[in-house]
């Protein structure tokens, strides 16, 4: 147990509650944070980098982040995480596996799980994570992100498919942060009513949904001009930044402008 957690226990500090309503014992002062989600890593680094002591191999922002790497979001090195004596581990309900998070809790490591499906949820969740789980002040970049996304969505709409993988094809379905980002930009997801959040859809069925646009991000699958657009004959294709489309964190402050430009959309109400 870290000194900070010992202090919290001796002070009788009441638990905080994460996005799933789980009670988490958070010390009065957080000195050591491990993040298991790239966007959450960037959020903490942009707020107070020195508290980060561990992150996944996929945590690529900031590019010069110098912390212990603990493998991936789906296969974290639990022994390495525990050895870092974190005051808090940051996770996400869809990025990380319950079995790994439960193992960390069983080892006495506090885990804070975020649950984000919309832009509004992202803004609220990030503020709670930073101020309650990490004991940090509300950062200026979060206010900038809130202002950037305050404008109402445009009335001019386009129907789109948003692939996130191929071989097999996988697309954005219902209740996703990505879908809400695009909806606010005037893009309606043709699979928004699908019962799954990231369904596997054969290409013939994708085309049968008659999308007007294929939104092709560069992550998790890296679509490029030579790998992706050719699969959608007669459909406009837009290559976009996966970080700005799918990450909830500091990139949200610029995402509306960046994505509108990449999608060829007017940035009204900015």
pTM of the predicted model, to two decimals? 0.90
Weakest-pLDDT range from 5-9, 48-52, 131-135: 5-9
Q: Give Rg (Cα) of the chain.
A: 20
The more confident residue out of 3 and 29 is 29
**Per-residue confidence band for 10, with pLDDT thresholds at 50, 70 and 90:** very low
**Per-residue confidence band for 102, with pLDDT thresholds at 50, 70 and 90:** very high
- Helix extents (H) in the chain: 3-11, 38-48, 78-83, 98-106, 119-128, 140-148, 177-184, 203-208, 242-246, 252-263
Could you tell me the end-to-end alpha-carbon distance of the chain, in angstroms, rounded to an integer? Answer: 47
The percentage of residues in the chain with a pLDDT greater than 90, rounded to a whole number, is: 90
**Could you give the residue range(s) of every CATH 3.40.50.1980 domain in the chain?**
3-138, 158-263
Q: What pLDDT score was predicted for residue 36?
A: 98
Task: Describe the crossing of helices 119-128 and 140-148 by its angle, rounded to 10 degrees.
Answer: 170
Spatial contact of 108 and 130, defined as CB atoms under 8 Å apart: no
* DSSP β-bridge partners for residue 100: none
* DSSP β-bridge partners for residue 68: 54
Q: What pLDDT score was predicted for residue 6?
A: 44
103-108 average pLDDT score: 97
DSSP 156-182: --EEEE-EEETTTTEE--SS-HHHHHH
Q: What pLDDT score was predicted for residue 267?
A: 67
Whose tokens are 């404008």? That residue is 151
- Average pLDDT of the residues of the chain: 94
pLDDT digits (tens, 9 = 90+) for 69-98: 999 999 999 999 999 999 999 999 999 999
| Length of the chain in terms of residues written | 270
pLDDT digits (tens, 9 = 90+) for 20-66: 999 999 999 999 999 999 999 999 999 999 999 999 999 999 999 99
Q: What pLDDT score was predicted for residue 251?
A: 96
pLDDT digits (tens, 9 = 90+) for 191-212: 999 999 999 999 999 999 999 9
Name the fold adopted by 3-138.
Answer: Rossmann fold (3.40.50)
**Per-residue confidence band for 266, with pLDDT thresholds at 50, 70 and 90:** confident
pLDDT digits (tens, 9 = 90+) for 145-177: 999 999 888 888 999 999 999 999 999 999 999
**Per-residue confidence band for 268, with pLDDT thresholds at 50, 70 and 90:** low
What CATH class has 158-263?
A: alpha beta
Is the pLDDT at 9 greater than 60? The verdict is no
Q: What pLDDT score was predicted for residue 13?
A: 61
Sign of CA dihedral 73, 88, 102, 77: positive
């Amino acid at each position: 147990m870290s000194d900070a957690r010992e202090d919290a226990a001796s002070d009788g500090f009441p638990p905080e509650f994460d996005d799933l309503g789980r009670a988490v014992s958070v010390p009065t002062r957080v000195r050591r944070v491990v993040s298991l989600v790239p966007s959450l890593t960037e959020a903490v680094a942009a707020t107070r980098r020195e508290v980060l002591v561990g992150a996944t191999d996929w945590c690529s922002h900031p590019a010069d982040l110098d912390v212990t790497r603990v493998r991936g979001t789906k296969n974290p090195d639990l022994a390495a995480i525990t050895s870092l004596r974190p005051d808090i581990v940051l996770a996400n309900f869809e990025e990380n596996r319950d079995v790994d998070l439960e193992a960390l809790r069983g080892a006495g490591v506090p885990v804070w799980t975020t649950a984000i499906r919309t832009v509004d949820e992202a803004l609220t969740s990030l503020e709670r994570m930073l101020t309650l789980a990490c004991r940090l002040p509300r950062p200026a970049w979060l206010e900038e992100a809130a202002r950037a996304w305050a404008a109402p969505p445009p009335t001019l709409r386009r129907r789109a498919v948003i692939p996130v993988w191929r071989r097999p094809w996988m697309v954005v379905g219902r209740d996703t942060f990505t879908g809400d980002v695009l909806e606010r930009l005037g893009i309606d997801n043709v699979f928004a009513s699908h019962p799954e959040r990231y369904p596997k859809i054969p290409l013939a069925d994708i085309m049968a949904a008659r999308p007007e646009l294929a939104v092709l991000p560069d992550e998790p699958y890296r679509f490029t001009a030579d790998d992706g657009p050719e699969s959608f004959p007669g459909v406009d294709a837009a290559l976009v930044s996966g970080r700005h489309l799918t990450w909830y964190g500091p990139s949200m402050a610029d995402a509306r402008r960046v994505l509108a430009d990449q999608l060829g959309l007017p940035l009204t109400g900015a």
